[in-house]
A and B are shown apart, each in its own frame.
Chain A
């Protein structure tokens, strides 16, 4: 068994097809030429560029059909690299001055540019270095006159084994017969991983050179969820995976049907299933997975990336972008929640012995009015472009809430005076993350428009456990009666005051705990978008009556393990 990084969900079973280069291009590095040959080499280069360019045009045309115009732009970028003046200059200098052969000249230029990419501070951009290598590969291929094996038309189910797959390779894949790919190189944001996700083909990347032990034609099982590659399985293992494959496919189909269905129980009680996002582009995933809004838009990405504080304009653009992407669906924006494990370079946070109990989130904001008001202004301005709501994190008392609302009121007035539009109905809610807030939820409910329970932090603070501390993490149990009682208290207090209560935390994402939360009356479940279909299915399968009965029973139990076992049992029964 070979272990790699899971890059495309699902299971693939097929015969191994090895897709390795027929030429080892590295042997060209350092081939020297004489001055007399410069002219010839420059001509070879010019011709190779045109051949590679034409080939890329063909690939791009195909990509336009198969992947769509937006994705196909990638090949436009490759074509540009081929004609890029910087690249051309580097190659020509290598030929004319360094007296390298065209192949070596290209390899050296590619290496230099790759180094430039790898020096960038951004994971996504670093992996673009491989794009440059691909263009180099296209050129070398054109120079060598070798044609690549055809993956676009196969006669049996295969698992593709390769060192790497270039964008050009993946465009022409026979999607009917290619059941998965196992790649030596690559990470989760590498091109292959992205394509695997888009084409919904199981894939495992980063497997390393062990893949070279696989012989052509051997049966291979690809587990894109666990990230493993199994070679030559016996009958029993094969049958087991065929079953897994069948179940997974039907599950995916079922879940796909749910996208536009509401999260409503069999006896007609509807709840909102929404997504947690950490950056604007994640909003698309919420919609793809059938979420009805965003329950938590974490804004820290704006503050954690650069050395400078984000300007109001930068923030406004990001919030507005999401508001637009979500259409009329509600989107809750959480104000800055840094401190603890999230340390921005641009805000003065002292060294603390207890960062989770220290200067963070709303405490920083109330102490840094300029930073806070800039964010509030940006959110308010963006509220004119969609259905936004604001949420304050880490509120522990009425005074804090009032102070935050006061600042918001001041910002509202400023914008009104400047005749800058914003949503006058903008709802303002708070996260309930501490035992104190949970205990005075009744008081807070009178002055907040909604609650969102931050289950992860509430659990930590209530149980006094750091879930990342291996010695005590066994004590971190969201289903601990102490935590459940606080959750119930918050939901009841909210409903008494006529406001809705949601939750954003891992608890809301698991079908088992969703059952009890549903039964306790939770109105909104916010989770990582990929979990939405699963929770939706769980909710649509039960009746609220049954969930309420289950919740009541659970509240009488005292052992978290028993509670979990009971919930699992209830889930299976349904």
Chain B
């Protein structure tokens, strides 16, 4: 299992647009991917889970990836959080 901590950089937090992009992204991998904010953990297969997590701009989340393609998945997720998210 791989884990990494990211900061939410999109202006209004994990709202509909970034959540949709993230869930679409996560859906493309075989690995089980979850995200934790404070004491709540959700599966990245659920857009509602991601949105109701309540992670706002500047907040930290921990992403956990576990499966055959976990390296690839974590790499792609890193690009999403560190580069793409701020523009969404």
Contacts and interface: CB of A to CB of B under 8 A. Distances in A.
- Tell me whether chain A's interface is mostly helix, strand or loop, or mixed: helix
Interface in A125-155: 125, 128, 131-132
B21 interface: yes
Interface residues on A, range: 35 or more
B12 A124 contact: yes
A122 B13 CA distance: 9
A122 B86 contact: no
A306 B24 CA distance: 28
A113 B58 contact: no
Contact of A124 (B9, B13, B58): B13
A74 B17 contact: yes
A410 to B, nearest CB: 26
Interface residues on B, range: 20 to 34
Contact of B52 (A74, A85, A117): A117
A243 interface: no
B58 A305 contact: yes
Contacts, number: 86
Contact of A84 (B21, B46, B54, B58): B46
Contacts of B23: 80
Given A116-B52, A124-B13, A317-B7, A77 B20 contact: yes
B15 interface: yes
B59 interface: yes
A311 B11 CA distance: 16
Contacts of A311: 7
Contacts of A166: none
A309 B70 CA distance: 32
A80 B47 contact: yes
B55 to A, nearest CB: 10
Given A76-B20, A81-B47, A314-B7, A125 B13 contact: yes
Interface in A251-305: 279-281, 302, 305
Contacts of A131: 16
A33 to B, nearest CB: 25
Contacts of A124: 12-13, 15
Contacts of A317: 7, 9, 86
A86 B49 contact: yes
A339 to B, nearest CB: 21
B47 A120 contact: no
A534 interface: no
A122 B56 contact: yes
Given A74-B16, A122-B13, 19 more contacts: A70-B17, A73-B17, A73-B21, A76-B24, A77-B47, A80-B47, A81-B47, A117-B52, A124-B12, A124-B15, A125-B13, A125-B15, A131-B16, A132-B48, A305-B58, A318-B57, A318-B58, A321-B9, A321-B86
26 contacts: A74-B16, A76-B24, A77-B17, A77-B19, A77-B20, A77-B47, A80-B20, A80-B47, A86-B46, A116-B48, A116-B52, A119-B54, A120-B54, A122-B13, A122-B56, A124-B12, A124-B13, A124-B15, A125-B54, A128-B16, A128-B51, A131-B16, A279-B11, A317-B9, A318-B57, A321-B9
Interface of A: 70, 73-74, 76-77, 80-81, 84-87, 113, 116-117, 119-122, 124-125, 128, 131-132, 279-281, 302, 305-306, 310-311, 313-314, 317-318, 321
Interface of B: 7, 9, 11-13, 15-17, 19-21, 23-24, 43, 45-49, 51-52, 54, 56-59, 86
